[in-house]
Amino acid sequence: MTLHVRTVLPKNGPATAIELTDEQVEDLGGGKRAAVVVTIDGRTARLRLGVMGGRTLIGLSKAARAELGVEIGDEVDAQIDLDGEERAIEVPEDLGRALDAEPQVRAAFDALAPSRRKEMVRSVVEAKKAETREKRIASAVDSLRSPGSV
């Protein structure tokens, strides 16, 4: 099911959101935390529904607004579709080698929630120095060796 929503993007702290009614969420399917693809003027972003203060929202961070070419206060016509594609996380080569060196570590990484895998990869990728990157890879591998510590 595709939803079409016309709304003004209200200011909500440093971000904004597209609010959906319970009926719209039901029509869309997938529940109140579903992954969605939002399209505005031919530009798309892969986002997620969330519940805040009892309201179901599609949060639009600064990065998401840039991706969609919109700003707080804009009136938009948004097309919202369920996102059925798996959200692949690109693992850097050096982290991948460290994970693959021990099959149980790779299995533990693959079993993590996508958001946790993404955070682990982000930590490694954002290291500014090679030594920091190596330490973060070692820390990630150590945490995956110890069940329940991730």
Per the CB < 8 A criterion, the answer to whether 30 and 50 are in contact is no
Per-residue pLDDT reduced to its tens digit, 23-54:
999 999 988 889 999 999 999 999 999 999 99
Which residue segments constitute the domains of the chain, with CATH numbers given?
2-82 (2.40.30.100), 93-145 (no CATH)
- DSSP H/E element including 18: strand 16-20
Whether the pLDDT of residue 63 is over 80: the answer is yes
* Rounded mean pLDDT, 91-117: 93
Per-residue pLDDT reduced to its tens digit, 121-144:
999 999 999 999 999 999 999 999
Whether the pLDDT of residue 18 is over 90: the answer is yes
What's the Cα-to-Cα distance from 145 to each of 43, 140, 141, rounded to whole Å? Answer: 41, 9, 6
Closest Cα to residue 78, out of 21, 9, 5?
A: 5
How many Å apart are CA 103 and CA 83, to the nearest integer? 31
The predicted pLDDT at position 147 comes to: 65
